[in-house]
Chain A
C-alpha cells in the first residue's frame, strides 16, 4: 500500500469522523529547504530595514526635565497631588479607594473587584515623604512640613485653594516661581521645595527609592508625570493621544502598531468617545471579539463566510483545473 493509503486506512480505523486523511495525489515538497530559505529571506529583509530606518528612541521625561521646562505646570500638578485633586489621587483601584471612581460595564466593576493592590497616597508618597527625606538640613522645610501635617483638613484646603488661585498668575524667573503674596501657610515653602528638589534631579531618585537598594518599579514617577500637562502635550505633538488614534502610532515617522486599529477605533466614535467608562466598555468589546476570533470554527455563519466569498478558488485553482481536465 502507498504511504498515503496506509495513512488513510489507519485514520479511518481510529475514528470515522477524522475524514481528513488525503488519499489523493502527493508531490515532493521540501519543508526544511522552505524554512531555511524563509529564514534567509527574513534575515536579509530585517537587516536592510534596520540599516535603512533604524528605530525610534525619544528621551524619557524626568521630573527634573519637566520642572526645568515648565515650572508652573509642574507646581500645578504637585499642588494637585498635595490637595488630592489629581487624577492619581482620584483614580480609585488599584491605587486608592475613591468612591465612584472605578469604571463599570453595566453593573459590573472589575476594577473595584481587583482591589487596592498598588496603594498610592498622592499627598504623602509624591510630595510630603520625598520632602521629608531631604528636610534634615533644612529647618524652614522641616517646620513647614510639621505645620502642614498638624493642621486640620479644612485649614490645609484653605491654604492649597489660595495657592492654587495665585498660581494662575505666577511667573517664572531664574528657575524660581514668583507667586503673588497671600495667606498660603506652609504650602508656599512646600511647593517651592518640591520644585527645587525636582529641578535638582533629587525627586526622580526619591520617588524610586524604597527600602531596597535596587529599583525597577516606576509607578510613582510615571503617575506624577502623567498628572501634568507637559507629558500629554508632548504626546499630542506626536499624535499619540487616544483621540488621535494614538495607540497605533509611534514617535517620529516610523510605523507603529497597525494591528491595534480595531482597539483604538472604538475610542474615536460615540458613545465611547465621551464616556467615563470607555476603557472598561472597550476592553469588554475587544475581549468578546478576541473570543469570537478564537472560536470561529464553532460559530455557524461565521465559519461559512469563506464558502460564500470564494477566495479559496484562487488558492486551489490549479487543483480544480486538474480535476476538471480528468
Chain B
C-alpha cells in the first residue's frame, strides 16, 4: 500500500491522531511529576471507583426490575448499595472539585478538563434526581410533585415529565449514565493529554500570570531538562 493511500484513509487518520495525542506511554503512564504528592490527588480515582460501584449495583437492580427492592430483602440491600455508593460518589466528587478549584487546575490550557468535570457534576445531579423519581415510593411521589413546579416554570416540564415513571426510569438507567460516562471518559483523557497541572510558581520565581494558556514552567526557566528524580 502506498504512503499516499494511508494518509487519505480515515482509519489511518484516526489512528495517527490518537497516537499523536495520546501515545500509550502517556495514556497509561507509570510515573507522575514530582509535585503530585498529596492525598488530595486520590479523590478523582475515588470518584471514578464510586461511579463504578453505582453502575454495578444499578446493573444488579436491573436484573430483577424496578419493584424488586420493595419485596425482597436482598433487593433492599442492593438498593442500599446503590444509594450509598451514590452518596459516596457525590462525597468524593465534591472534594475533588474543591481540590481542583483551589489548585486552579484549569491553568495551562486545561480549561476543557474543568468544563467536562463541572458538566459531569451537573449531569450527575440530574442522574440522582431521576433516580429518586424512579423509587416508586412516597419520596418519589413527593419529589415529582415538587420538582414539576421548577421544571414547568422553566418550560422544561412540558418535555421532561417527572410524573411519568417510565420516562424518568429510562432517563435514569440509559440516557444520563451514558452522558455522565462519556463526560468522565473525556475528562480523564484530557488529564492524560495535558498532564496534571503544575504548581503555581513559587515566591520569588516568575511573575504570576492568571491566563489559562500561560503557565510558566519553573524547571524549564532555570535551564533544567530533567528526568526522573
Contact = CB atoms under 8 A, between A and B. Distances in A.
Establish whether A and B are touching in the complex (CB under 8 Å): yes
Interface of A: 2-5, 7-8, 17-32, 34-35, 38-39, 41-43, 45-47, 49-51, 53-61, 91, 93-94, 102-103, 110-111, 113-118, 216-219, 222-223, 225-226, 231, 234-235, 240, 242, 246-247, 250-251, 255, 257-260, 277, 279-280, 282-284, 287, 290, 293-298, 300, 303-307, 309-312, 314-316, 318-320, 322-324
Interface in B194-226: 194-195, 197-200, 202, 208, 210, 212-220, 224-226
29 contacts: A3-B25, A4-B226, A7-B26, A22-B217, A24-B34, A26-B33, A27-B228, A28-B228, A29-B30, A39-B49, A57-B70, A57-B135, A59-B137, A60-B136, A60-B137, A93-B152, A110-B156, A216-B166, A222-B141, A251-B138, A279-B149, A283-B154, A295-B115, A296-B101, A300-B210, A303-B104, A310-B200, A312-B102, A315-B99
Given A91-B152, A300-B210, 11 more contacts: A5-B227, A20-B108, A24-B35, A24-B218, A38-B48, A94-B158, A114-B156, A216-B167, A258-B90, A297-B114, A319-B199
Contacts of A3: 25
Contacts of A310: 200
Closest 3 CB pairs of A and B: A216-B166, A110-B155, A25-B229
A94 B152 contact: yes
Interface residues of B, number: 110
A326 to B, nearest CB: 9
Count chain B CB atoms within 10 A of each CB in A117, A222, A307 and give the residue with the most.
Answer: A222
Nearest to B149: A279
Contacts of A8: 220
Contact of A27 (B31, B110, B218): B31
Given A39-B53, A216-B166, A306 B102 contact: yes
B33 A25 contact: yes
A54 B76 contact: yes
A226 B214 CA distance: 56
A219 B80 CA distance: 27
Given A24-B224, A115-B158, A309 B217 contact: no
Contacts of A22: 33, 195, 198, 217, 219
Contacts, number: 330
B119 interface: yes
A58 to B, nearest CB: 4
Nearest to A54: B80
B8 to A, nearest CB: 23
Given A94-B157, A110-B154, A259-B90, A59 B115 contact: no
B139 interface: yes
B152 A111 contact: yes
Contacts of B157: 94, 114
A5 B161 contact: no
Contacts of B63: none
B144 A222 contact: yes
A20 to B, nearest CB: 3
B80 A113 contact: no
